[in-house]
Structure 1
């Protein structure tokens, strides 16, 4: 915009009032129609030049106004190269920005909430008045992968004893709860769950990143014991049935957990949801890093653009120095055209084939005389 000069910049103003495309077209009907798409960006650049009366800008404008035509042409070529490079960088920035915008705190929290309660928002069945079928307060869910496969359902299985032969291991080793499976009907199950949540950090708020989520899942995976192809999370003992009784233990069983030498950890619902959240967060983190790198590249291009007037101002002196140096170099060349006189006893024929001469224009070596 600065290189284009005041006449070009005047297209965007009428007595210091910035012109829209429509207004500019009325002012100058000869403006090409294909300029409309870029008009707003050009107008913004012209506005920045108008309001940013800084010393650097004033100096650059002075340098440009005093440039010879060939220097101005060279400057425009350099600017065009930088603009082309910057356009490509900006296109990449838009891609990374879209990735960042797609991953919000809200949709990450939805995945984490889905892991905890089975729904994106709220607590689903684990809310007062929602357990009318008593489905979340029964031990039968525990030998069946905690049935709903939520973290809070898993917690109920790991920390709820039977009403007769009570198991006191797992997370209840140092804690005591007021209810067992005999009293987990309706809202009593919700009350019991609230008591359990008060024992652990699942109810606390903390900032997490993709690495923390992945590390946490890996720790949980390491706690699963495989017996006969079934995976058990929690206290298993020797004959795990996951009923909360002292001989069948408090645990969660995942049938066919290992098949063909591979575990099915990643197929568990409360694992899949945090993994999805971690993947989104990782994509966002990577996009932010790339965005910062690309943004710095744009700043580097901008800095290079401000140096262009100084660069092209040296063109003439560099060309002159090169020419003078070439002439001096040529003037100092030794002359090989003079044939040395043979000394007494010298084989003239042999020396004749050893002597090379340089043509008068120094264009290359020639064969023997």
Structure 2
């Protein structure tokens, strides 16, 4: 089994910069992704008509810009004026298509690592691979190099012939016959496979061939845990925050992966929680023979302040203090068996005179 190639990349990789938090493949997306804990991002690189490498996922401009038609048929002077952010929301209005050079400048200052997916226009697979590899080698000189990946084997072969030192990965939607031979023949150090096509056996076969394994686009906790348990080396995801990514993998198992970290950590030793239970236990515990405690209930006041006919007040049925009397500072009303309706010691002057 050949030894695996050096792997400086973290476990979590932001899809197209920041998932769905910002317009894809823009500098705003990379800033948003880093603000949420990502140390690496995946993005798409293609060529303009005058061979300027820039970021765009689709072959056409219509979905993510205010332009129209094939991107490969337009010059960079035309593409540079397009709005690539308004489609995502008004606060991103005016965001431009970034060149590969502007992305490298951002990575140099921020420390962001990158997976550059080669997205050739129609009939431009080899040309795109060669141009992007040469430009990237110059821009990332002295830095951790970007990982070049593509579904197009012609693009990867051209990138290998142009700059062999750049790491490469073969993108696969499914594991067809001969996938290991194809990846190793292109000099790839990794494969990037759709998560539905991966299991523990496939990952083991890739590792035996000296290949790392990444998966796209994993947006569910159960799938992330399944692939982690199977031995995956990294996940491309739209997960918005580091805390969410941590919760996805915060389960019992043979090891755990921290957000933004590509290293596996040994499991924590089981802690004796008996002291914690003792500390949190109630200080008083009723004995089995103790009589049950009576439930305390609030007594209703029998005092009413509604005036009876003739102006007399209804009397209390027991000595008590109602909430209104207590609030006003009055003494409690007492039952007077001598009191009668009509005239009497307790009758008000107004009631006696009829006023």
TM-score range relative to shorter protein: under 0.3
Q: Which is richer in helix?
A: 1
Larger Rg: 1
Structure holding more strand per residue: 2
